[in-house]
């Protein structure tokens, strides 16, 4: 496994300097800021990520103000009560993307958000206080208890909420393989995820950098081979 300094210096060289590299890094909210997110904003983020999965993101983004209107500003206490008749009506509403399999995730995830809020004060506190050193367990929980929050959808929700986390895109996975962490598969097993988590924990201890930035340095360090183009 490569030390992070080696990875960092290669990324600096590829991006034309340390300043240029750091300007590409995404913002991260503080834990306190994340914990202030209300349930409706969390449900809105979840639903947007679900509708963007496997679809044109720009189309979803353009329609999102209408989604907010149609779904009552994503108030989970209202949306968990949607009936089968309500869902059928939503599936015919031309203001949104009429995908019933994705529409039905709204009341299911609203119910889960409300359940977690009763146990932990708010869903935002639950995810915001989760230790990043074991974030892959939160990925697992999102997949298990949430509706259509598996794959990279759950991790995208966390990042859009501002949480220090990571998304395993194909470029990131290839960069991690080049970093010799011992990853050979497609990171679909929990064993692979724990290997990635352990490697990130080591680099975090070496640098004290946020996990989001550690992954972005990896991505910016990634050099495709000729066969990857």
The 3-class secondary structure across the chain, one letter per residue, is CCCHHHHHHHHHHHHCCHHHHHHCCCCCCCHHHHHCCCHHHHHHHHHHHHHHCCCCHHHHHHHHHHHHHHCHHHCHHHHCCCCHHHHHHHCCCCCCCCCHHHHCHHHHHHHHHHHHHHHHCCHHHHHHCCCHHHHHHHHHHHHHHCCCCCCCHHHHHHHHCCCCCCCCCHHHHHHHHHCCCCCCCCCCCHHHHHHHHHHHHHHHHHHCCCHHHHHHHHHHHCCCCHHHC
Based on the domain organization, do 48 and 137 belong to the same domain?
yes
Q: Is 227 part of a structural domain of the chain? A: no
Q: In total, how many domains does the chain have? A: 2
Q: Kindly report, residue by residue over 24-48, the tens digit of the pLDDT.
A: 888 899 999 999 999 999 999 999 9
Predicted local distance difference test score (pLDDT) of residue 148: 99
Predicted local distance difference test score (pLDDT) of residue 24: 82
Indicate if the pLDDT at residue 223 is higher than 70: no
Indicate if the pLDDT at residue 227 is higher than 60: no
As a whole-number percent, the residues of the chain with pLDDT over 70 amount to 96
Based on the domain organization, do 150 and 54 belong to the same domain?
yes
Domain final residue, candidates 160, 189, 206: 160
Q: Tell me which residue of 121, 218, 129, 128 sits closest to 178, measured CA to CA.
A: 218
Based on the domain organization, do 51 and 133 belong to the same domain?
yes
Predicted local distance difference test score (pLDDT) of residue 225: 39
Q: Tell me which residue of 87, 140, 137, 132 sits closest to 110, measured CA to CA.
A: 87
Q: Is 89 part of a structural domain of the chain? A: yes
Q: Which domain holds residue 60?
A: 32-160
Q: What angle do CA 23, 218, 60 make, to 5 degrees?
A: 70
pLDDT band at 229 (very low <50, low <70, confident <90, very high): very low
Predicted local distance difference test score (pLDDT) of residue 120: 98
Q: Is 228 part of a structural domain of the chain? A: no
Predicted local distance difference test score (pLDDT) of residue 222: 59
Indicate if the pLDDT at residue 164 is higher than 90: yes
Domain final residue, candidates 143, 160, 177: 160
Q: Is 229 part of a structural domain of the chain? A: no
Q: Is 46 part of a structural domain of the chain? A: yes
Based on the domain organization, do 100 and 192 belong to the same domain?
no
Based on the domain organization, do 99 and 147 belong to the same domain?
yes
Q: Is 22 part of a structural domain of the chain? A: yes
Q: If you average pLDDT over residues 62-68, what whole number do you get?
A: 98
Q: If you average pLDDT over residues 144-154, what whole number do you get?
A: 98
Residues in Cβ contact with 141 at an 8 Å cutoff, skipping those fewer than 6 apart: none
Based on the domain organization, do 39 and 141 belong to the same domain?
yes
Average pLDDT of the chain to the nearest whole number: 92
Indicate if the pLDDT at residue 59 is higher than 80: yes
Q: Is 11 part of a structural domain of the chain? A: yes
Query: Is 223 exposed, middle or buried (CB count within 10 Å of its CB: 0-12, 13-18, 19+)?
Result: exposed
**Higher per-residue pLDDT: 154 or 178:** 154
Q: Is 116 part of a structural domain of the chain? A: yes
What is the CATH classification number for the domain harbouring 57?
1.10.340.30
């Amino acid at each position: 496994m490569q030390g992070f300094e080696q990875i960092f210096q290669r990324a600096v060289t590829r991006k034309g300097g340390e300043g240029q590299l750091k300007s590409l890094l995404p913002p991260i909210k503080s834990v306190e800021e994340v914990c202030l997110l209300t349930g409706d904003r969390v449900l809105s983020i979840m639903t947007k990520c679900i509708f963007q999965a496997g679809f044109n993101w720009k189309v979803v983004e353009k329609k999102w103000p209408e989604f907010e209107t149609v779904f009552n500003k994503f108030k989970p206490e209202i949306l968990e009560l949607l009936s089968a008749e309500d869902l059928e009506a939503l599936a015919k509403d031309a203001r949104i993307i009429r995908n019933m399999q994705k529409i039905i995730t709204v009341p299911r995830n609203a119910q889960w958000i409300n359940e977690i809020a009763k146990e932990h004060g708010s869903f935002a506190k639950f995810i915001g206080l989760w230790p990043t050193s074991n974030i892959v367990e939160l990925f697992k929980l999102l997949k298990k208890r949430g509706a259509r929050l598996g794959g990279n959808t759950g991790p995208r929700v966390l990042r859009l909420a501002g949480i220090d986390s990571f998304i395993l895109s194909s470029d990131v996975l290839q960069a991690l393989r080049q970093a010799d962490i011992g990853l050979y598969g497609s990171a679909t097993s929990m064993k692979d995820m724990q290997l990635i988590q352990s490697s990130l924990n080591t680099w975090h201890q070496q640098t004290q950098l946020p996990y989001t930035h550690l992954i972005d340095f990896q991505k910016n360090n990634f050099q495709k081979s000729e066969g990857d183009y």
